[in-house]
Amino acid sequence: MSSIAEAVEPKKTPTEAGNYFISNYPPFSFWSPENTKEVEAAFEQTYDDGASLGVYHHIPFCRKRCHFCYFRVYTDKNASEIKDYLDKTITELEYFAKTPRIAGRKPRFIYFGGGTPSYLSGPQLTELTDRMKAILPWDEAEEVAFEGEPGTLNPRKVKAIKNIGVTRLSLGIENFDSRILEINGRAHKASEVYKGYEAAKSEGFDQINIDLIAGMLEETEVNWQRNIEETLKLRPDSVTIYQMEIPYNTTIYKEMKESGSLTAPVADWQVKRRWVKEAFEALESAGYSISSGYTAVLHPDKTKFIYRDELWTGADLLGLGVASISHIAGVHYQNVNEITHYAKAIEKGELPVHRALKTNVEERMIREFLLQMKLGRVSIDYFRTKFGVDLSERYENELKELAEEGLLEYDSENIRLHRRGLLCVDNLLFKFFLPKHVTSRLV
Ligand code: SF4
């Protein structure tokens, strides 16, 4: 019989199509259009549970579609179409801001994601955020996070991003080699990485994060080492490294299907994990600390990621825009993922919701547990206090097995993942799903 370690980490696992990364629970495939009434009910609930509030604003525009991208993005919208979209998101915010659940609250964190938020011009960003602030003031926001594509950044744009109040700028660098960026369909070139980073650095953001992807098309051992070296030279406040996955709605998957191949033309999972491991070790030698299965931070005491930490401890998240994902009073929902449908719903005064799921307390407990496992450490006491559940008792068998395989250790107070467990954490998490939620495909 194979061990758990072999099951989660066999000798060679090719990268096949599908989602590896677990970003929510219960899985999206259990969210349904029939449950959208639950969304209205969630916003009718008054706020008395102490959850923080965050706002996520989705900008679905990009200069070019990356071959590994599974988001709904638009590369052909003109300024007036973009203005129309931004106006609709403001209407959406105005509506929700008056509901019993949101009225009177101020967001603790704001996140601009995409797509490419930095695709917007400085004046567009200023106007959008002025209008957002007039509806839900940001004076209590401890973090304003913003995703930037290096090729869209110039000193003027970066100044505008700083001036709207962004505290955490995350640069989607992904790789330092222009040829690999090009092969993967990225819009930016390596030279723009350095220009964008320098522009950001000179504006003095509280935090600059850079994203890398281990295992892009045509990545090599030599080039991956170069990626690590270049990262260390830039010395950003935090580095986030994703392991390349190939979801079904990507160009790469389409090409695999056409050629009848089950395996994506990228490194296998063991190589991708080794690359992340090597990067983490190099970053640790340079003074960084590993703060999750994906992230290294330079100054753990001051470099926080409030969006992630609040989301993973049950905050309310109000998602605005096409395909955005929200979590309000225990109800998960996702907006419609086509921009014309989104616009039509807003024009008609309808909720632009595509699918939803009302979670129960047990599901919320599991969700927080799974997400916090990605940090590499879980406080058992947190779950005792918040949910009345002792994780070491509830998951006695699972934790014991994983501990015996050397993937984690635990006592009555904490669960701590070992590096080997942390690098394949998304694979371990399925063990803790309720049986009814275990499926072969999770989106
Ligand atoms: S920049 Fe991001 S959102 Fe845009 S196409 Fe590439 S991966 Fe997708």
Asked if 117 and 124 count as a contact pair (C-beta separation under 8 A), the reply is no
> How far is Cα 98 from Cα 113, in angstroms, rounded to an integer?
24
pLDDT at 366: 98
The whole-number average pLDDT for the span 138-166 is 97
pLDDT at 235: 98
The whole-number average pLDDT for the span 257-281 is 89
Tens digit of pLDDT for each residue in 128-139? 999 999 999 999
Instruction: Reply yes or no on whether the pLDDT at 7 is more than 60.
Output: no
Instruction: Reply yes or no on whether the pLDDT at 438 is more than 70.
Output: yes
pLDDT at 8: 54
pLDDT at 266: 80
Instruction: Reply yes or no on whether the pLDDT at 281 is more than 60.
Output: yes
Q: Using a pLDDT cut of 90, give the percent of the chain over it.
A: 86
pLDDT at 330: 97
- State if residue 73 touches ligand 1 by the CB under 6 angstroms criterion: yes
- State if residue 69 touches ligand 1 by the CB under 6 angstroms criterion: yes
Instruction: Reply yes or no on whether the pLDDT at 404 is more than 60.
Output: yes
pLDDT at 110: 98
Rounded distance from Cα 63 to ligand 1 centre (Å): 9
pLDDT at 72: 86
- Mean pLDDT over each residue of the chain, to the nearest integer: 94
Q: Tell me the fold of 1-26+360-443.
A: Arc Repressor Mutant, subunit A (1.10.10)
What pLDDT band is residue 257 in, cutting at 50, 70 and 90? Answer: confident
Q: Using a pLDDT cut of 70, give the percent of the chain over it.
A: 97
User: Which of the pair, 123 or 259, is modelled with greater confidence?
Assistant: 123
- State if residue 59 touches ligand 1 by the CB under 6 angstroms criterion: no
> How far is Cα 423 from Cα 293, in angstroms, rounded to an integer?
6
Tens digit of pLDDT for each residue in 297-339? 999 999 999 999 999 999 999 999 999 999 999 999 999 999 9
Pocket test for ligand 1, best of 61, 64, 71, 153 (most atoms within 8 A of CB): 71
pLDDT at 440: 58
Indicate which atom in ligand 1 lies nearest the CA of residue 149: 1
pLDDT at 5: 52
Query: What is the residue extent of each domain of the chain?
Result: 1-26+360-443, 31-310
- State if residue 181 touches ligand 1 by the CB under 6 angstroms criterion: no
pLDDT at 9: 55
- State if residue 244 touches ligand 1 by the CB under 6 angstroms criterion: no
> How far is Cα 221 from Cα 232, in angstroms, rounded to an integer?
17
Q: Whose CA is nearest to atom 6 of ligand 1?
A: 66
- State if residue 279 touches ligand 1 by the CB under 6 angstroms criterion: no
pLDDT at 2: 45
Tens digit of pLDDT for each residue in 44-82? 999 888 899 999 999 999 999 999 999 889 999 999 999
> How far is Cα 432 from Cα 434, in angstroms, rounded to an integer?
7
Pocket test for ligand 1, best of 63, 65, 192, 337 (most atoms within 8 A of CB): 65
Rounded distance from Cα 386 to ligand 1 centre (Å): 37
Asked if 428 and 25 count as a contact pair (C-beta separation under 8 A), the reply is no
Rounded distance from Cα 69 to ligand 1 centre (Å): 6
Rounded distance from Cα 66 to ligand 1 centre (Å): 5
The whole-number average pLDDT for the span 340-368 is 98
| Letter string b/e over residues 215-249, b meaning 16 or more CB atoms within 10 A of that residue's CB | bbbebeeeebeebbebbbebebbbbbbbbbbbbee
Tens digit of pLDDT for each residue in 409-426? 999 999 999 999 999 999
Neighbouring C-beta atoms of residue 345, cutoff 10 Å: 18
Write the CB contacts of 287 (distance below 8 Å, at least 6 apart in sequence).
Answer: 298
- State if residue 325 touches ligand 1 by the CB under 6 angstroms criterion: no
Rounded distance from Cα 384 to ligand 1 centre (Å): 40
Asked if 54 and 112 count as a contact pair (C-beta separation under 8 A), the reply is no
Rounded distance from Cα 70 to ligand 1 centre (Å): 8
pLDDT at 324: 98
pLDDT at 254: 86
pLDDT at 443: 32
Sheet with 414-417: strands ordered across: 377-379, 414-417, 408-410
Instruction: Reply yes or no on whether the pLDDT at 143 is more than 80.
Output: yes
Among 367-371, 400-404, 436-440, the minimum mean pLDDT is found in: 436-440
Instruction: Reply yes or no on whether the pLDDT at 439 is more than 90.
Output: no
pLDDT at 265: 81
The whole-number average pLDDT for the span 99-111 is 97
pLDDT at 222: 97
Instruction: Reply yes or no on whether the pLDDT at 441 is more than 60.
Output: no
**CA distances in angstroms from 120 to 46, 86, 126, 209, 275, listed in the order given:** 35, 10, 10, 20, 34
Q: Tell me the fold of 31-310.
A: pyruvate-formate lyase- activating enzyme (3.80.30)
Rounded distance from Cα 293 to ligand 1 centre (Å): 22
